[in-house]
Structure 1
Amino acid sequence: MFIDKAVIHLKAGKGGDGAVAFRREKYVPAGGPAGGDGGKGGDVVFVVDEGMRTLMDFRYKKHYKAESGEDGGNKNMFGKDGANLELHVPPGTIIRDEKTGAIIADLTHKDDRVVAAKGGKGGKGNTHFKTATRQAPRFAIAGEAGEIVSVVLELKLIADVGLVGFPNVGKSTLLSVVTSATPKIANYHFTTITPNLGVVSTKYGDSFVLADIPGLIEGAHEGTGLGHEFLRHVERTKLLIHVLDAAGIEGRDPLEDFDKINQELKLYNEKLATKPQIVAANKTDIPSSQENVELIKKALKPKGIKVFTISAATREGIDDLMVYAAERLKELETIPEVIENNEEEKMYVFNPEEEKLFTIRREDNKYIVEGKFITRLVNSTNFDDMDSLAYFQKVLRKRGIIDELKEMGIQEGDLVKIDDIEFEYYD
């Protein structure tokens, strides 16, 4: 089954906690702190796998979690880093942040890879907190939580040539006779509801990948008839073969069809309408097609568009069409294969500095301090130990939390809630 879109949920590994430990050696009666650091949490990484063609693997399994780092140990032993979780995706996969829609990565080439969720840093052991006045610190720092993110995976087929046109003009039949692909073929609209790929080998030994894009209709750029789902597969192609029903057996004018399809391409993305095109006037085995063929050639010659008269049913003219397509591809090798949906759309790069360390809000005469940093600080504090408590207070001041509380008008005796801890404020 062809699956070209999936939403999945990622959780990177938590960093291991730093250890509280002391030297307990035979001839060292007053050994100092010896707590090791925690290991880093594993990242969630996407990697291109050329052997994959769909996002089927992500249809049923939606949640993925990387390994957490190990806690630090005694004798300054560091915890082991958590293993990264690698998720394999087919070439042409775009990864978006589900919440913002921003592109995290556009993976097109073999072995392309990107970290989509970063693992948390390991915590510091109590060895780091020894000072001249604090000889035996009884606290350490907890590991950071790993990133949690939901992403949308979108697959844009990477094909050299795309077949476009209205439904039922013979695209699937053409694909079936020039490649080993076996698309579903029948005489009704939207026989093809998913893109099909095949490899064309010409009589001169050239080869290229050909994609049968499901039939486009008016309004496709607005999503009508799954328009967006189909149009995005056109974007990576270097060349388009525009298939027209020269016989007009359904009462449509092939030249009007040509203009309408190109208008849909332009409205979806103006760059699509500028892609090089070859016109394949199909169904020329039907006698009524001859008049239309002449009209098509006459109308498109001033535009510099080459027109081939073919019959997918009898294979007439198909070899010449494929040879010409291979030649045009050689000329177009320098044209980039990636076109963005929106020129203003920018790649999102993870930056932990973008996230504010904490937020403060006032609720029912209580000041509530929240944030990942705050949770980690509370989890790292031993509130029964004076040294640990003093360190906690020092960090509150150093990180600007006390200053912001003052700016918000806190008074002595007011309640402050930090994570699960509540206390009265006194400067």
Structure 2
Amino acid sequence: MHSTPRRMRRGCAAVAAASLLLAPALAGSAYAAPSAQGQNVFAAPVPPPSPDGSAEFRQLTPAVAAQLDAAIREVMRETKVPGVVAGLWAPGKGSYVKAFGVADKETGAPMKTDVHQRIGSETKTFTVTALLRLVDQGKLGLDDPIGKYINGVPNGDRITLRELAGMRSGLFNYSEDDDFDKALESGPNRVFTPQQLLDYSFKHPVQFAPGEKFEYSNTNLILLGLVIEKVTGRPLHDVIRQDVLEPAGLRHTVFPTDAAFPEPHAQGYTDESVSGEIVNATDWNPSWAWAAGAMISDLQDLRSWARTLATGTLLTPKTQAERLKTVTIGIPGAGYGLGIFDIQGWLGHNGSLPGYEVLAVYLPQAQATMVLLLNTDVLHDGQEPSTLFGEAVTRIVTPGHVYPGHKPSPPKHD
């Protein structure tokens, strides 16, 4: 399978390497498995935070920081990840913010904590939030069929917006199409339109009946982006900027309309599909990911966003409750809601696309946030490197909530 589009397929959620994006498009590229019975199983609501989080998150003492340093460096050695930025914050427990390795392998420039980062499938959290704000405004309903807004969608009279946001539509993932692979690999700077992406999907039969099971598909987010544009009458990047980023107070997060990449940023490294050679993907155009994975952010904005996303600051309590109803994805302690996952109590998303990976999650019980930025998306033994770092960090600071809690198996399409 070609490496370039594989990233967004994998990219959904970190545990996703087990058949998840959740491998996100955690470039959010994503593969996810249904429950054993193939039914929709909803998890209980997230428990309220403990009074002081004392049982949930270790004090970030110098000794614990030294453990984190050693664990991160060990994973870097094992995975050969060039550079990592790690951030941990918890009220009353302190903070840990540190950069490791290099931002540029040619010059040896060090990784820094203020880099901008392509965030892959973390974009999905912003797109779905924009959709849910329209729900709160009464401009659309989660159980509206997609056919009400977009013509020509297979099963369009049956697939709901809720099923699209929750990855239960049954629509084929365009980034798994062979012709898409070839088109993207022939020119990583090529500009794709949303309709072109849908065309790659719609030539395939639907994979299952709407709502039958969970299966990560970037096609779902392209459709939701088009719904947002139709209902608002504005381009998606404007809606996200005005209706999500500005209200959330995020000043270093952008939805690019080209390959522009704000400074400072690290160089991003991916593996070439045929030879396996490591290549620089920094300036590849993310148009092929659009509403599913094109955005850019930084450490502090992702820190803020992880909390906003998990606590529902921009939504009504009713709509946030709908968002957090998760469907099991075949992995113990893991579920997916509406553009958000719950992995061992950590709420958020991961992201992966050529050259970069992120993980931005929030643990309500401890009011704690973890953000990881990597300047590569090259798998290690079939696993997302961001997942390996997340596991190493949480084994130290939240042993009761280890992310993702098990060793995932390689993606089935890799």
**Which structure is higher in strand share?**
1
Larger Rg: 1
Relative contact order higher in (CA < 8 Å, ≥ 6 apart): 2
Query: Which range, TM-score by smaller chain?
Result: under 0.3
Length-normalised TM-score, structure 2: 0.20
Length-normalised TM-score, structure 1: 0.20
